[in-house]
A and B are shown apart, each in its own frame.
Chain A
């Protein structure tokens, strides 16, 4: 078979993947002058102003919190699913996947109905003569939206690694005198690390870069790094600054992936997706 079939794709790739990335770098590292543009790190320097550092800090903090919550809820769920509590495992697995197929805007919007002042939660609370809660437009609501949207990304990779663990190894640990806790801490958990790593990456990255969840559930009060980029391009029109934030974000993500793959060790292709 010929390789010439690659040609249209290579052209497409160059035009719509490579060139745009080069343009982002170009805008990030230049500032406009009267005669065109000059190389400069000014855009990056701006990012270190306190107001923007606060945005970065908030993004990192909320992303970490969401990731931890997803892990705490998701790991036990993956363990139960990979065990023998259910006969129809693939149905349970599918039930985890189905909500992901709903448009994520709508999934996020759904929480508006539940959380708002006259929403479901407050109607229930009021009917029990309890005071209303103001959950919508708080950081808590943003974290809730992230956990809700990204939980399956934590569960599925952990599940796929756990279900491949050799039962014999677990039994051997028991035969050699380890109690249930020791079996988990010394055998199951270390073996499941690749899944945990890919789950953490898959929750952390979108949580860090989202701008929709924070806009809809945070009501625009909680600017995240994604919102900052959106504003620079669609409101302010400062492409240089917007591009430099994007570059910072890519670097952050590459860093976290590098850290993750360090922990992932050798079993790389186990958790490919």
Chain B
């Protein structure tokens, strides 16, 4: 009986969490503009969605910035993680603290500080500033994904490579990078997801004419309900869900190898944490 009550409570919370998403999705197929009423099944909003120039161009911007910023952030972040792993004492502490700064700072503060920087340096707000901003907030998450892998690394591997005649750069490329690859990939996917999901920082660092999906959604939602947003949400949610499943399968596989019991979960949580500053 108690067990039944306990379970019902959790199910009730799930209803609260999932009902809005379900309603959103169901109404994307509703053939009626008046939202309360069900006017029959339609794919009209999906068709209109793909014909909407603004939405499609912001979709391309989002994907472009997501891919490019994720790749650059992964390169810089991976190199940084290797450097952090090998530094000691005060230097390490200092760098780690600054790394946590964008993670802990309210997103809006990061956003306005970057906006001030760009305007101050007279960089025109647009693609370039969006890209720079996204790389900046992505790097810490790449570092936090790669560092645990480095900690598991056998430190004698690198020395062995050197003893066998590798140059340091070659040893890094041939020995270290392949070993920490799972962490790098996780970081890359995480960075991409965070980038396409970001609103606040994009909102402040973009200029006229350049808009990401989140920004377009915000300006549409401010004017009230629009079934096209529902259609878009359904697609985006399905897409992110797929990405999430891929990441989770990867982590589960890692864990089965028995090498990183906790890390999988940790990076999972770390990624989540970004969300809190989001809203």
Contacts and interface: CB of A to CB of B under 8 A. Distances in A.
Nearest to B153: A1
Nearest to A79: B6
A243 B277 CA distance: 18
B67 interface: no
Given A86-B7, A104-B279, A234-B204, A16 B17 contact: no
- Max chain A C-beta neighbours (<10 A), residue from B37, B233, B266: B233
A102 B114 contact: no
A189 interface: no
B272 A9 contact: no
Nearest to B278: A104
Interface in A223-248: 226, 229-230, 233-234, 239, 242-243, 246
Contacts, number: 252
B20 A114 contact: yes
Contacts of A6: 79-80, 83-84, 87, 95
Interface of A: 1-10, 12-13, 16-21, 23-24, 27, 73, 76-77, 80-81, 83, 85-86, 92, 94-114, 116, 118-120, 122-123, 146, 148-153, 156, 160, 202-203, 205-206, 208-213, 215-216, 226, 229-230, 233-234, 239, 242-243, 246, 249-250, 253, 273
Nearest to A252: B106
Nearest to B216: A105
A1 B112 contact: no
A230 B111 CA distance: 10
B98 A18 contact: yes
Interface string B245-279: 00010000000000000000010111011011111
Interface residues of B, number: 91
B106 A111 contact: no
Contact of A112 (B79, B87, B221, B237): B221
Interface of B: 3, 6-7, 9-10, 13-14, 16-21, 23-24, 27, 34-37, 76-77, 79-80, 82-87, 95, 98-99, 101-102, 105-110, 112-117, 120, 132-133, 135-136, 139, 143, 158, 168, 172, 176, 193, 197, 199-200, 204, 214, 217-218, 221-222, 224-225, 229-230, 232-233, 236-237, 240-241, 244, 248, 266, 268-270, 272-273, 275-279
